[in-house]
Structures are given as structure tokens and as C-alpha cells.
Copies of this chain bind each other. A is one copy, B any other.
Amino acid sequence: MRRPVCVLGWGLIGGSLARAVSAADRPVWGATSSTADARSARDAGYDVTTSTAEAVARAAEEDALVVLAVPLPAVEPVLREIAAVAPRCRLTDVVSVKEPVADAVRRLLPSARYVGGHPMAGSAASGWAASDGDLFRDAAWVVTAEVTEDEEDGATSSTDADLWAEVARLALACGAHVVPATPAEHDAAVARVSHLPHVLAAVLAAVGADGGPLALALGAGSFRDGTRVMGTRPELVRAMCEGNRPALLDAVDDALGRLGAARGALASTGSLAATVTTGHEARLSFEHLLAGRPGARVRVDPADLPRLVELGRRGGRVIGLNHDEAVVELPG
């Protein structure tokens, strides 16, 4: 598969993707609205313009795979630019929420072939300068499929299975493993493990600073780790969290409930047993999921997207893919 890749947005994620794709010997070019990022990427030998229209017209000519790598607030304007030049393009994205992007594509680019994606990798730094061709190595990369449950037909998917496989191979080529999920399940999951951590880090940093210079001077490992992601530029954190509002509200409500329960138990009985034990077991489950692989491997038809999504729900990940089969590793 030597289809060229057209990257729109050359910040941390788009830039890292371009580096990884290029390292895998696949043609890559693109556009960014940041003249600074464009200049630096060109200095590094990449073919980058500041004109989205120009890059997308070339994508239409060469039948490239277009990768949308802009922050959520920029998605709609960029989709409008694509619609004007390449309404039937092959499109994926690496934006941190999936339902809002899928909705926008349906509205603004209804004739495109689209499969959503989200690599679970990042850093507190941003921009092309922070890009790294190894950023996605061993990371999870969600590739979404719409699945409808029906009593008569069972689970079916309206997603283009060929494009799904192509996007999954792009993720594998970047060194990631592929987690199949519906957009809604993706958004609910990342609200818990990616967006809530940012909100809690903001709360923790503020409560620490409220303790004055003495408290901050005593901040050690637990405070440093617990607030680290607050070093990220606020507009990026906001775009990510605010873009996943309904799912994040659910996760924040769960956190408020658990924190309130901890408060109640500490005040009334002096014990944090339930809170700490549950948290410890959850952390061990997470460590086990990370370290406990490989578990069982199953081979499935790569066009059977409902089956792939079901395995993703169980913690499975695709580690290999060809025309006949997808190799899925389940947790050990």
C-alpha cells in the first residue's frame, strides 16, 4: 500500500505522524496554517504548504489519504475547505473526540469516505518542534467503526471496511496497535482516562497553590505527577475537554460521587479503606493490562467490524492486518 498521505496540521500529532509515515517510506505532504511550523517542517525536508486548498487539490489528484490533524475548533473550517476541492476524498483524523468529528463530516463532507482515528499519545509540549517519529510506538490508536445492533440482523456496521483497514494499517505502520471502537464508546472511554485526568490535575494544582509557597515547596512526586498535564497549553486542554462535554460530564459526576463518598467516610469513620482499596485494585488492573500481554490471540475477518469492535470492548487490540485476517491480542 503506497497511497500517499496528505497531512493537514503539522503540530505535535500531525508532525509526528508525517515523520513516522515518511520513515515507513510512504509519500507524505500537507498543509498547516502555522507559517512557523510550515517553515520548520520544510527546513526538515518535508513538503508543506500553508494553503489547505492546494494540498487538498493535490490529494484529490493523487487519490491520497487525507489525515485531519488540527485541534477540534479548527475541524469545521478545514472540512469546508476540503468540501470545496475534494468532496469525495478518503479521510481520517487524529482528533481527540470522535462523535463530534463524525457529525461534522456527515454535515459538511457527506460524500467523503471517512473513518475516524485517535492515537493515544501526546506530551505536554506542542507544535512541530515537539514532533517525534516514535511518538506512536506501542501506543493505542483507536480506529472507529459505527455499529448498529438490530434484533433481526444482529450487529452491523455502516463503516467502509476497506477504508477502516487502510487507516488501521496506517496506525500499524506508525508503530501503534489498533483499538477498534465505536465513536460513542471511544468518547466515553477517553472522558474517563484522558479528559478527567486533566480536570483533576487542574483541581489538584489549584488546591496546592491555595496552600501558598510553603505547600508548593513541599510538593514532591505525588503532586508533580498528579499535576504534570497542567503544563500543557490551556487552549489545547480546553479544546480537548470541552469538545467531549456530555461524556466528560458523566465522568466528572462519577468522580464527584466517589470523592464525596471518600469525604463522607473520612469525616464519619476516619477510614479511607473503600476509596484506597478500590483505587489500588483499579491501578493494578491497569498495570496488568499494560504489562500482562500477550494474552490469547484471535484471528478474525478484517471486514467484520462488529466483531472487531466487540473485541475492542474486551480490551483487545489489533497487532497485525492483511487482506484475509486481523490478528487481535486479548488481555492476558
Contacts and interface: CB of A to CB of B under 8 A. Distances in A.
Interface stretch (A8-16, A43-51, A69-77, A201-209): A201-209
A218 B234 contact: no
B279 A139 contact: no
Given A189-B218, A218-B179, A241-B272, A282 B230 contact: yes
B218 A193 contact: yes
Given A255-B207, A315-B213, A262 B199 contact: yes
A290 to B, nearest CB: 8
Given A202-B275, A207-B258, A192 B213 contact: no
A122 interface: yes
16 contacts: A121-B220, A181-B214, A193-B220, A194-B218, A198-B276, A199-B275, A202-B262, A202-B272, A205-B282, A208-B286, A209-B281, A209-B286, A217-B315, A234-B273, A245-B266, A256-B263
Given A121-B221, A193-B220, A205-B282, 8 more contacts: A205-B279, A209-B281, A224-B286, A225-B225, A234-B273, A237-B272, A238-B273, A249-B263
